[in-house]
Structure 1
Amino acid sequence: MIVYFRSAWNFQNKLRRAMDARMPASSGRTVGPPDICTNLYRVFCSRKNVTKDPTGFVRRDTEGEIEALRIYEEVMHANPELTSEQVDDELVKRIYTDERRKFVEGAYRYARVGIIKLIDSQPKSILVEKEKRKLKSILRKTVLQLPPPADVYGDEPDLLTKNDVYFERLKDGTRRLRVGGAFLLSVKSLFNMVFTIAHELGHSIDPCELLHEGMRPEAYDRLTACFRREKILSGPGKRAECSAGDQLPELFADWVAVQVTAGLLKKYATEFDKSQLLDAAINTVKDLCDEDENFKDVDFGSHPPPQIRIQSVFGTHPIIRQVLGCAPSVQTHCGYGWRPFAR
């Protein structure tokens, strides 16, 4: 699989560093501090400095935006004769380099394949073939838009210096995923890149997006019921789903991203040593910790609190806990096939 990534998806630099860091397989014991298995959120978010895993690191959102603006100012000062459009083109050349584009494109392909595998793995009693075909069709039609040229983001030029990554559906039905320039400067970790892209791709098939397709698989009702049962979904009840402040779409997108990155972490469980594996897991959701620090005591609106996203969604996945040397979570990790009696 690693060779496949290199040749087909241009993950060369990230994967080469990862492979160079190979170490003997984990012994199965806890890889981090003793309380990581009981309070993964606290352990992850207590890391205030930049965490480096074998594939890279994750900086604060603001640091990437400051660097992007610095590059923008350098371009303007060095080329006062350029028009604003020409400045944007030069900015794109410096930020959206071939290497960075290939990194994002590789993560996009990996995430899309991972979500499709998740869908295909469901038995017919969970997702029928018609539902599977529709979900996979939506994913395949969701286009990754990256400059150059700069006018790819002509309707939103500020995105070139922003840390935003988002999915959107246009009035004509086109679905697209966009990546801000500052994000490319902030995120060097393969694990965080895959998680972020998988999260946004997950939005293309989230429960509220599917309303536009006139479909609501029963599997989605089971998953949502589990979120409520485990008290990780707050806000409006079922009657008010997809209204303002509903956290279901974001929670679903997190859940999808966790399914994809759990497989990625498992892949490297025998390649990294214990501390490297812990660093990779931390970097997967590192930017969620930053949200918590920057917005303490704030209503997160449509986003669940970071503690829920990290501890109750990411931290309960059986594979992730196994990779970190932890026993299965006492709290249920929800799934498409959840039943009220399946505790």
Structure 2
Amino acid sequence: MQENIFLLVIRRQLVLKKIITILLASLVAGLLVSLYFFYLENTFNDVGSVVFTNTYKQDWDTYEGGSFSFEYPTYFKRSGVQLVGSGSYEELVNDDRSQALTVEIRANYNNASGKVFSSLEEFVGNFQKEKQTKIFIDGYEAIRILPYGGEGTDSSALYVIGPGGGPIITLDFSNNYDIDMAEARNGNRIFNQIVSTLRFNNFSMAGWRTYKSRLGFEFQMPDDFASNEGGNLEIYSPTTKCETSYTEGEKEDISEAKISFTVHEGDDINLAWLKAFGYQLEGNFDGEAFFDGHETYYFYQGAEMVYGRTAYLVDLGEGKFLEINKYSPNLVFNCDQSIDNLSAIDAQILSTLRID
């Protein structure tokens, strides 16, 4: 009898300890969750945080060039259009003339051959060949000349042929070396921002359509792309069956190109980045870009993944941020249909992004 009472006491003590342990664990878990959200809200108040001021559309104006337009800061003053031969040019300069943007429009006609230029490469030729890179402007292929040194200036340029084979549009930007390098870098950044706003008026690419998202933006995409919009938006090209490193001989549906869009809210881009991707922005991004004039940071991810990924976070203004994930097949093989790398299609689609 005494032994049974002793066992009962021991059992009750164990149950009590278990209850106390569960209560303590719950309290600790609750405390950790509270600390985590406190961390989210306060981590990026430090001096070392990434901070920028996005003034797009606050002090910007629209340059109308007939078949095209772009946005530019109002501190650039227009000098007036000058007619030259089969085209025209105009210079936009800031107050101290340390920065200049020249807009040139010319007919797509090669005087040497008596024909239109067969390609943009033929027109640009070997000019700053090592600095040339191909991009898309509103869905059309363009050549971007990255910054290069000249006689007392740091220059860069953009060349693009408009819809229907013309005209040829050139934007040329120059920084005067008399200003410090920080100002020069800021000038090149402004030029990148201007370039991202270049649009062709009333254009329509054959086989493409406009998609207007309820999330507050629109873009062009090929007719055969599908879309799925719920809390976020995903678009993707037709799929084919492929093996991957994870399917062990079985095949799964693979899209040659896939892009997702999600809108986040937050006080600043540092906090929005942490919420979107789970780690700090400072020191953890691969580059800066612009979509339709809006500040963007991005990173690449691709090791040991079925899809390679480029992730962007776009500052939409007013405390809203657009997360864009661009996916292209990486570790796939034995596909029913040939898989091409359609990252160019991805870039072409995103070049048409227009944000309300």
Bigger RCO (CA 8 Å, 6+ sep): 1
Larger radius of gyration, structure 1 or 2?
2
TM-score normalized by the length of structure 1 = 0.28
More helix by share: 1
TM-score normalized by the length of structure 2 = 0.27
More strand by share: 2
